A and B are shown apart, each in its own frame.
Chain A
Amino acid sequence: MKSVHHPELSIRIGKMELKNPVIVASGTFGYGQEFENFMDLSQLGAIIPKGISLNPMQGNPPPRIFETNGGILNSIGLQNPGLQVFIKEKLPYLKKIKTNLIINFFGKTQAEYVELARRLDSLDGISGLEMNISCPNVKQGGIIFGSDSKMTYRLVSEVKKSIRRPLIVKLSPNVTDITVIARSAEEGGADAVSLINTFKAMAINIHTKKPELGNVTGGLSGPAIKPIALRMVWEVSRAVKIPVIGMGGIMKAEDAIEFMLAGASAIQIGTANLIRPMTGIEVINGIKKYLIQTKMDQIQSLIGFFKA
Chain B
Amino acid sequence: MALQTDGIVLNNRKIKSIYFLLEIDCPAIANEAKPGQFVMISTSDNHHPLLRRPFSIYKSYSTLHPSKEKRGQLSILYKKVGKGTQKMSTFKEGQKVNLIGPLGNGFILPPLPSPAATILIGGGVGMASLSALGEALCSEKIYVFIGGKTKDDILCEDDFPKGKVFIATEDGSLGKKGTVVDLFLSEIERFDRGRPHHVYICGPEGMVKSLSKALKSKKWIIQVSLEARMGCGFGACWGCVVKTRDTEMAYRRVCKDGPVFPLSEIVWESS
Q: B: which residues have CB within 8 A of A? A: 1-4, 42, 47-52, 100, 228-232, 234-243, 248-251, 256, 269
Interface of B is mostly: loop
A65 near B231 with CB under 8 A, answer: yes
Complex-state Cα separation, A28 to B238, whole angstroms: 9
Q: Check B4–A276 contact: CB distance below 8 A.
A: yes
Q: Are B51 and A62 in contact (CB under 8 A)?
A: no
Q: Are A275 and B241 in contact (CB under 8 A)?
A: no
Given A61-B243, A76-B239: A274 and B231 interface contact (C-beta under 8 Å): yes
Given contacts A62-B251, A79-B251, contact A35 B236 (CB under 8 A): yes
A7-42 residues at the B interface, CB under 8 angstroms: 27-30, 34-35, 37-38
Chain A residues engaging chain B, CB cutoff 8 angstroms: 27-30, 34-35, 37-38, 50, 56, 58-59, 61-67, 69-72, 74, 76, 79, 81, 222-223, 251, 271, 273-278
Which residue of chain B has its CB nearest to the CB of A80? Answer: B238
Docked complex Cα distance between A282 and B269 (Å): 41
A66–B240 Cα distance when bound, in Å, is: 10
Q: How far is the CA of A58 from the CA of B250 in the complex (A)?
A: 7
Query: Measured between alpha carbons, how far is A234 from B166 in the docked complex, in Å?
Result: 64
Q: Which of A34, A67, A74, A278 contacts B49 (CB 8 A)?
A: A67
- Structural contact, B238 and A59, CB atoms closer than 8 A: yes
Known: A28-B236, A34-B234. A67 touches B50 (CB 8 A): yes
Shortest CB–CB separation between residue B199 and chain A, in angstroms?
24
- Residue pair A274, B237 in contact (C-beta under 8 Å): yes
B271 to chain A, nearest CB (A): 8
The answer on a CB contact under 8 Å between B229 and A76 is no
Chain B positions within 8 Å of A35 at CB level: 236
Q: Within 8 Å CB of A69, what residues of B?
A: 48
Q: Is the CB of A277 within 8 A of B250?
A: no
A62 touches B249 (CB 8 A): no
Give chain A nearest CB distance to B261 CB in angstroms.
14
Measured between C-beta atoms, what is the minimum distance from B98 to chain A in Å? 8
Q: Which of A34, A58, A72 contacts B50 (CB 8 A)?
A: A72
Q: For the complex, what is the distance from the CA of A276 to the CA of B4, rounded to whole Å? A: 8
Q: Is the CB of A273 within 8 A of B236?
A: yes
Q: Which residue on B lies nearest to A251, using beta carbons?
A: B47
15 A-B pairs whose Cβ atoms sit less than 8 Å apart in the complex: A38-B4, A62-B241, A62-B242, A62-B243, A62-B251, A65-B231, A70-B47, A70-B50, A81-B248, A222-B47, A274-B51, A274-B237, A275-B51, A277-B236, A278-B4
A38 vs B2: C-alpha distance in the bound complex, in angstroms?
8
With a cutoff of 8 Å between Cβ atoms, the chain B residues found around residue A222 in the complex are 47, 50
Identify the 4 closest CB pairs spanning chains A and B, nearest first: A65-B239, A30-B236, A274-B232, A34-B236
**Minimum C-beta distance from B103 to chain A (A):** 11
Chain A residues in 8 Å Cβ range of B234: 34, 277
Whether B237 pairs with A27 at a CB distance below 8 angstroms is yes
Once the chains are docked, how many angstroms separate the CA of A72 from the CA of B236?
Answer: 15
Closest B residue by C-beta to A68: B50
> CB < 8 Å: which of A59, A67, A278 contacts B51?
A67
**Which one, A64, A66, A79, A277, contacts B100 given CB within 8 A?**
A277
In the complex, the chain A residue whose C-beta lies closest to that of B254 is: A62
Flag if A66 contacts B50 (CB, 8 Å): no
* B239 and A59 contact, CB distance less than 8 A: no
- Using Cβ atoms and an 8 Å threshold, which residues of chain A touch B100? 277
Instruction: Decide if A34 touches B250 in the complex (CB within 8 Å).
Output: no
A258–chain B nearest beta-carbon distance, Å: 16
- The answer on a CB contact under 8 Å between B236 and A29 is yes
Contact B50 A275, beta carbon cutoff 8 Å: yes
- Docked Cα-Cα span, A71 to B47, in Å, equals 9
- List A contacts of B3 (CB < 8 A): 37-38
| Alpha-carbon separation in the docked complex, A29 to B236 (Å) | 5
